[in-house]
């Protein structure tokens, strides 16, 4: 952590005042403070006084000690979790800390074992105890159907764990994705047709045939075909599949500050297109659209004989 210079210069000798000031600094910098930050704020404080104040706050469970590339960090503890962890032994606190550090992506029990150096039987016992206190929860991951990851109870799992809107109980909702594909394309197609039917100039017709991802997202939400809340990123994922299918084209333009759907001063526009000619038979095969076609050869990591896409296409 970079050194933080605090303008306030305090001359304190009362231990309670020192502890209060360290607590204030930790609240000011929630990601943690180094010893140097405390020294900069209280330059006249003796090292022994500083150490005694920190050790007391650590023993009271108000601070937690972390380590990063810059050295040791002191950070305020979450009062709610601290009260729930009251009476827990050091092993249970260690497992809880490891799970907390994993964030909303969670952590496998195998990785908890590796980081804690505790026996697997002891870890399983601790995990069950923490789950019963509703401090942590187990979430099934789409990456491995038979494994669970552990995270804090109040966290919303990351999309990489749940699979996002496209998965339900770890099953890929192919029919739902297909319906979204059809409805997104239908909206863009109707917008393009309305632009063509207008009596404006060709350039105006072309510009008015485009729609932002926010407009498509709003249309899908108003249809009410989704049981889950879809984000703009979800809709853009669907629109990208339509681009790969050759049904939609995208362009990026500069946008005014505050424009809905804009990112870094730019906004994506989409419009439905009709293919000028039908693709040839070769292009319709998986090989015709394969992004790693040049790396594909018999005996290699990517091979025609092991290609699941080619196998499915031949079976069809």
Residue 2 included in any domain: no
Residue 9 included in any domain: no
Residue at which a domain ends, from 140, 163, 186 = 163
Tell me 295's DSSP state. G
Tell me 33's DSSP state. B
10-residue averages of pLDDT along the chain (316 residues): 46 76 86 84 87 86 71 74 65 85 86 88 90 87 77 82 73 83 91 85 84 90 84 88 86 76 78 70 69 80 83 74
Burial of 210 (0-12, 13-18, 19+ CB in 10 A): buried
Q: Are residues 247 and 296 in the same domain?
A: no
Q: Are residues 129 and 180 in the same domain?
A: no
pLDDT digits (tens, 9 = 90+) for 108-124: 888 898 888 888 899 99
Cα–Cα distance measured from residue 191 to residue 210, given in angstroms and rounded to the nearest whole number: 7
Instruction: Tell whether pTM > 0.75.
Output: no
Residue at which a domain ends, from 51, 77, 103 = 77
Q: Are residues 225 and 295 in the same domain?
A: no
Q: Are residues 267 and 295 in the same domain?
A: no
Cα–Cα distance measured from residue 290 to residue 296, given in angstroms and rounded to the nearest whole number: 9
Residue 305 included in any domain: yes
Q: Are residues 41 and 130 in the same domain?
A: no
Residue 102 included in any domain: yes
C-alpha angle 265-268-270 in degrees, rounded to nearest 5? 160
- Helices vs. strands in the chain: H and E counts, helices first: 15, 9
Q: What are phi and psi of 3, to 5 degrees?
A: -60, 135
Q: How many structural domains comprise the chain?
A: 4
3-state secondary structure of 250: strand
Q: Are residues 179 and 263 in the same domain?
A: yes
Strand (E) or helix (H) holding 159: helix 159-162
pLDDT digits (tens, 9 = 90+) for 191-213: 888 888 887 888 888 888 898 88
Cα–Cα distance measured from residue 316 to residue 311, given in angstroms and rounded to the nearest whole number: 9
Domain containing residue 59: 15-77
Rg over CA atoms, the chain: 28
Residue 295 included in any domain: yes
User: Which parts of 97-195 are beta strand (E)?
Assistant: 136-141, 144-152, 167-168, 171-172
Q: Are residues 88 and 73 in the same domain?
A: no
Q: Are residues 266 and 218 in the same domain?
A: yes
Residue 59, domain CATH:
1.10.10.10
Residue 32 included in any domain: yes
Residue 178, domain CATH:
1.10.10
Long-range contacts of 308-315 (CB under 8 A, 24+ apart): 310/285, 310/286, 313/285, 313/286
Residue at which a domain ends, from 100, 132, 163 = 163
Q: Are residues 152 and 207 in the same domain?
A: no
Q: Are residues 230 and 249 in the same domain?
A: yes
Q: Are residues 101 and 154 in the same domain?
A: yes
Residue 141 included in any domain: yes
Residue 278 included in any domain: no
Q: Are residues 180 and 264 in the same domain?
A: yes
């Amino acid at each position: 952590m970079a050194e933080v210079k605090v303008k306030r210069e305090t001359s304190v000798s009362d231990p309670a005042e020192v502890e209060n000031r360290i607590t204030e600094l930790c609240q000011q910098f929630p990601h943690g403070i180094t010893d140097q930050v405390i020294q900069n704020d209280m330059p006249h404080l003796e090292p022994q006084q500083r150490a005694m104040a920190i050790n007391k706050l650590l023993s009271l469970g108000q601070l937690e000690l972390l380590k990063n590339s810059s050295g040791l960090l002191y950070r305020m503890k979450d009062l709610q979790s601290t009260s729930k962890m009251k009476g827990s032994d050091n092993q249970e606190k260690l497992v809880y800390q490891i799970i907390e550090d994993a964030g909303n992506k969670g952590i496998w029990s195998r990785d908890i074992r590796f980081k804690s150096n505790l026996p697997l039987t002891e870890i399983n016992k601790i995990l069950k105890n923490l789950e019963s206190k509703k401090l942590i929860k187990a979430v099934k991951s789409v990456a491995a159907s038979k494994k669970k990851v552990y995270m804090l109870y109040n966290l919303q799992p990351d999309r990489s764990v749940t699979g996002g809107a496209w998965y339900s109980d770890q099953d890929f909702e192919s029919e739902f994705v297909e319906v979204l594909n059809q409805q997104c394309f239908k909206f863009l197609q109707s917008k393009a047709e309305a632009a063509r039917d207008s009596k404006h100039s060709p350039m105006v017709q072309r510009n008015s045939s485009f729609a932002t991802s926010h407009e498509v997202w709003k249309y899908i939400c108003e249809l009410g075909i989704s049981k889950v809340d879809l984000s703009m990123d979800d809709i853009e994922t669907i629109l990208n599949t339509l681009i790969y299918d050759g049904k939609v084209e995208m362009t990026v333009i500069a946008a005014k500050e505050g424009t809905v759907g804009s990112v870094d001063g730019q906004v994506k526009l989409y419009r439905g297109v009709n293919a000028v000619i039908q693709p040839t038979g070769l292009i319709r095969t998986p090989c015709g659209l394969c992004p790693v076609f040049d790396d594909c050869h018999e005996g290699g990591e990517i091979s025609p004989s092991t290609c699941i896409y080619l196998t499915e296409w031949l079976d069809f």
